[in-house]
Chains A and B, each alone.
Chain A
C-alpha cells in the first residue's frame, strides 16, 4: 500500500462507527451540530483516516483513555459474516463496500478478532478461485474487450457469472482483470507463434 495508491486512499475514506469518550467543545460539527459541544458517548461515523489515529492516539498513556472507541462497520457485521460462513460466493461484497478487503484488513489491524480473520481468509480463497475460473473463461474465448482503457467497465460476461462478477470488490476486480489479461495475452502469443 503506497502513500500514493488511489485505492488505498479511497479505502481510508470508508466510515466506521465511533463513540467519543470525552467532551470536546470544538468538534460539534462532526455530529452535525457545529454550535454545540460534542458530548462524551456521542456516536459518529468517522472515516478510517480519522478514526484510526483517534482510537490509538492517547491509549499508550497510563492514565489516558483513547479519544474514541470504535465498532466493526456494518460491512463486517454479524449478518454479513454469517452469510460468508454459509457461502462466500453468494455474498455481493461490493454492496457492502467497494473496498471490502481493504476495509477488513485495516479493521483486523486495529482489533484482534481471530475468528473473523479466519472467515475472511477463507472467503478470499474460495472467491479467488471462482474469479480465476471466470477470468479464464472470458479471456480464453474470443472476447470483444480490447486493451486496458475500457477494461474497467468491461466486466459483462453474460450468463450466470454476471451477478457474481458485478459484486466483486476492487481488489477482486483487479485480480479478475489480471487473470483475464494474462489468459488473453497467453492465447495471443500462442497464436502468434503458429504464424511464423
Chain B
C-alpha cells in the first residue's frame, strides 16, 4: 500500500541517478506535481483535524489526534526535503554545465530529441529542463558572464591545461558562421578543416562546434 512520502522517495532516487550521469535526464514534471499535491492534501487534513478545536488544541489532552498531526506534519516536512533536494541536485548540475561552457539549452533540446528519436511520437524535441530551469540557466549564465566581465584578461572558464602549441588543427562539426581572428575572418562550415590559433576557438570547441585534431 502506498504511503505518504513514497513519491518523494521516488524523486530522490531520480536525483541519485542524476548524480552519476554526465547529462541531465528529463525533468519529472508529473512526479513533482504529485508530491506537491500530496503536501496540499496533508495540509488540508491538518486544517480539518484542528478545526473543531478553534485554535486551543492541547496535545497532552488528546494524544491520538496529536500523533496524527505529527505524522501529517512529518510527511509534509519529508516531502519538502525531497522536493528541495531533487531540484538542488539538478541546479548543481546545471551550474556545472554553465561553468563548463556548454550550451545547456541547446544541449537539452538535442538530448531530448535524441532520446525520443526512436519513438518520435511524443512531440519531437522537447527540452529535458523545466521552464523554470531554463530560466535559471539563462540567468545564471548572465550572472557568470557579468562576473567574468570584471577580469577581461583572464578566462575563468578556460582550460587549466597549458597549451602545448599555439596553433592547432580543428575540424568543424556544425556550421558556426564566420569568426574574426587576428589573421582575418574564417568561415566555419561543416566538415571543413582549419589550422587556427587555439585561443581563438577554445570556446567553440567547448561548445561542440569544433573538434580538435591530433
Contacts and interface: CB of A to CB of B under 8 A. Distances in A.
Contacts of B66: 58
Contact of B70 (A57, A61, A152): A57
Contacts of B1: 29, 32
B85 A27 contact: no
Contacts of A27: 67-68, 71
Contacts of A58: 63, 66
B185 interface: no
B54 interface: no
A3 B77 CA distance: 12
B154 interface: no
A53 interface: yes
A51 to B, nearest CB: 10
A4 B85 contact: yes
Nearest to A153: B20
Interface of B is mostly: helix
A16 to B, nearest CB: 14
A9 B70 contact: no
Which of under 10, 10 to 19, 20 to 34, or 35 or more describes the interface residues of A? Answer: 20 to 34
A151 B22 CA distance: 11
B21 A6 contact: no
Interface string A15-57: 0000000111111011010000000000000010110011001
A149 interface: yes
B28 to A, nearest CB: 15
B5 to A, nearest CB: 7
Interface residues of B, number: 31
B78 interface: yes
Contacts of B84: 3-4
A134 interface: no
B21 A149 contact: yes
A30 B3 contact: yes
Interface in B37-82: 49, 60, 63-68, 70-71, 74-75, 78, 81-82
Interface string A56-83: 0110010110010000000000000000
B94 interface: no
Given A32-B1, A49-B74, A152-B20, A9 B67 contact: no
A13 interface: yes
B63 A9 contact: no
B119 to A, nearest CB: 25
B13 interface: yes
A7 B19 CA distance: 11
A148 B16 CA distance: 14
- Listed from nearest, the 8 A-B pairs whose CB atoms lie closest are A152-B20, A149-B22, A24-B64, A26-B68, A67-B67, A4-B85, A4-B88, A32-B1
Interface of B: 1, 3, 5, 9, 12-13, 15-16, 19-22, 49, 60, 63-68, 70-71, 74-75, 78, 81-82, 84-85, 88-89
23 contacts: A3-B81, A4-B84, A4-B85, A4-B88, A4-B89, A6-B85, A7-B16, A9-B85, A10-B12, A13-B9, A22-B63, A22-B64, A29-B3, A30-B71, A32-B1, A47-B3, A49-B5, A49-B74, A50-B5, A50-B78, A54-B71, A54-B74, A67-B63
